[in-house]
Amino acid sequence: MIIDGKSIAAQIRAEVAAGAAALARSARAPGLAVVLCGDNPASVSYVTAKERACAECGIASFPVRFPAGVSREELLAEIRRLNAADEVDGILVQLPLPGGIDEQEIIRAIAPDKDVDGFHPVSLGSLAIGLPGFVPCTPAGIVELLLRSGFDPAGKHAVVVGRSNIVGKPVATLLARKGRGGDATVTLCHTATKNLAAFTRAADILVVAAGHPGTVGEGMVKKGAVVIDVGVNRIADPSKKSGFRLVGDVDFNAVRSVAAAITPVPGGVGPMTIAMLMKNTLQAAQNHLAAKS
C-alpha cells in the first residue's frame, strides 16, 4: 500500500478551513507571518506552498521578505514587531537562514505562543516533558499519517534514522510518549550507528530522516513494516523541465514490495508538514482569542 499523504493532507486542510471559518465568523481569521530571507530555490518553493495553503484554509498570510544580506538586527526587529502584532497568530521563519545569521538566536526571539513551527526551545522542552505546546510540523504530520492510515504506533517497535532537531529527535519523542499516536518502543539511529541495517530490519515502523538518498535500500526492511520516508533530495534529471526530480532517503522500488505500506516522495510526508502548520496556526489563533475573551 502506498500511503497517500496528498489526500490525507487535503482532508486536514479542509478540517482547518472549517475551524478557521468558524473563528472568522465569531472574531477574526487566523493570521500567519511567513518570513523568507534570500532566494534559495527550495525555500522559495516551500514558502509559496505554505502561502497557497493559507489561502485555501482561510488563514490570512503576511508575507515578509528580506534579501539574503539581511542583518541580524533587522531580522530581530521584525520578529519583535510580529510578536506584538495583534493580527499575527503564528510566525514562520523559513530555514535555512543565510550564512552568518545565528538561527537559534532568531528562533529564540519568536514568542513561544506564536511558534507554530515548534522549533523554540520552550516548545521542544515542553514536548520532551509532556507539557502542552506546539509540536514541530513534520513529526506531527508523520504521526497523523500513521494514525489516519490505520497504523497505530502503540506497542510497535519504531526505528527513527536521523537525529535532527526538527525531525529525528522530536518524532522519536512523539512516538515514545504516553497516549494517542505514541506508546511505541523507539530506537534512534544516526550517523554513528554501527550496522544500521540490523536496526532498520527490526522496525515495525521505520521513519527515515537522514537527508541522503539510498539511506535505506534492498534488504534493510522487514516484511510487513510501515516505512515513512522524510527525505527530500533534488537529483539532476535533464528530462525534466526544472532540470531535477525529487527522491526520498529510501530506495522506493527496492522496498515497496516488502513493506506493508510506504510513503512516496513527493506526495507523502511533504504535504503533511504544511497541513500541520495550518493546524498549528489555527490552534494559535484559538488560544489567542480565548486568552482575550
- The answer to whether the CB of 265 falls within 8 A of the CB of 138 is no
Angle CA 50–272–269, to nearest 5: 115
Nearer to ligand GUN, 32 or 262 (CB): 32
Nearer to ligand GUN, 96 or 219 (CB): 96
The residue annotated as part of the active site, out of 113, 115, 117, 251, is 117
DSSP letters along 158-191, please? Answer: EEEE---TTTHHHHHHHHHSSSTT---EEEEE-T
Per the annotation, the verdict on 115 as an active-site residue is no
Nearer to ligand GUN, 20 or 37 (CB): 37
Smallest gap from residue 11 Cβ to ligand GUN (A): 20
Nearer to ligand GUN, 29 or 140 (CB): 140
The span from the CA of 200 to the CA of 208, in Å, is: 9
With CB atoms as reference, the residue minimizing the distance to ligand GUN is: 95
C-beta neighbour count of 203 within 10 angstroms: 24
Per the annotation, the verdict on 6 as an active-site residue is no
The residue annotated as part of the active site, out of 50, 156, 169, 279, is 50
Q: Which residues make up the interface to ligand GUN (CB under 6 A)?
A: 92-95, 117, 137-138, 166, 273
The span from the CA of 50 to the CA of 276, in Å, is: 11
Per the annotation, the verdict on 94 as an active-site residue is yes
In the chain the first and final C-alpha atoms are separated, in Å, by 47
Catalytic residues: 50, 94, 117
